């Protein structure tokens, strides 16, 4: 006679001994929360907007540089913490991203995908909002030194026609 196995009894043995009772599917660990489109504030005082259950757009500051974070979050010990998956964009990078969005939208449209357009109306802009024209005009990029008024072949050509 073989020695008795230390493995668990099979499900068939469990079924015979439970009298035919079948349990409902196990409940998830926590209920899903509704996604809010309104601005919220995290534990560090940074404003954020939820994209989905685990993804957020957060505004933060690191070494006096303002960043836009698009990142996945996870819960640990009751706290919501940023995960590895995500990207932090500087204001310059975010501005470039916004600039190419119409082209991205056109590419998606050519592939048969339709995106709803946001409605930017004057009602949503606060009355005390003033765009920062002076600060934006005086900031220069590291790439600005490569911009020329004339095309390269015109700037270097000494020949006259």
pLDDT of residue 46: 83
Beta bridge partners of 73: 82
Q: For 68-99, write each residue's pLDDT tens digit.
A: 989 898 888 888 888 888 888 999 999 999 89
Fold of domain 35-113: Transcriptional Co-activator pc4; Chain A (2.30.31)
pLDDT of residue 96: 92
Beta bridge partners of 71: 56, 86
Would you tell me how many other CB atoms lie within 10 Å of the CB of residue 158? Answer: 4
Q: For 24-71, write each residue's pLDDT tens digit.
A: 555 555 545 556 677 788 877 888 888 888 888 888 888 988 999 898
pLDDT of residue 60: 86
pLDDT of residue 38: 77
Maximum separation of any 2 CA atoms in the chain, in Å:
106
* Alpha-carbon Rg for the chain in angstroms: 28
Q: For 113-131, write each residue's pLDDT tens digit.
A: 888 877 777 566 666 666 5
Domain assignments of the chain as residue spans, ordered by start: 35-113
pLDDT of residue 159: 57
Element (H, E) at 76: strand 65-76
Beta bridge partners of 36: none
CA 21 to CA 49: how far, in whole Å?
Answer: 45
| Torsion 147-148-149-151 (CA) sign | negative
Return the percent helix, strand and coil in the chain, to nearest 5: 30, 25, 50
CA 82 to CA 65: how far, in whole Å?
Answer: 18
């Amino acid at each position: 006679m073989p020695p008795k196995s230390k493995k668990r009894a099979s499900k068939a043995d469990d079924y015979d001994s439970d009298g035919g009772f079948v349990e409902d599917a196990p409940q998830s660990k926590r209920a899903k929360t509704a996604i809010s489109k309104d601005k919220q504030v995290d534990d560090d005082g940074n404003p954020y907007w939820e994209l989905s259950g685990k993804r957020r757009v957060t505004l933060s500051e690191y070494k006096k540089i303002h960043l836009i974070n698009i990142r996945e979050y996870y819960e640990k010990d009751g706290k919501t913490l940023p995960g590895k998956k995500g990207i932090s964009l500087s204001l310059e990078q975010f501005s470039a991203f916004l600039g190419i969005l119409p082209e991205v939208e056109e590419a998606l449209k050519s592939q048969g995908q339709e995106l709803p357009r946001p409605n930017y109306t004057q009602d949503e802009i606060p009355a005390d909002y003033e765009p920062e024209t002076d600060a934006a005009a005086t900031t220069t990029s590291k790439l600005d030194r490569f911009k020329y008024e004339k095309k390269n072949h015109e700037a270097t050509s000494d020949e006259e026609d």
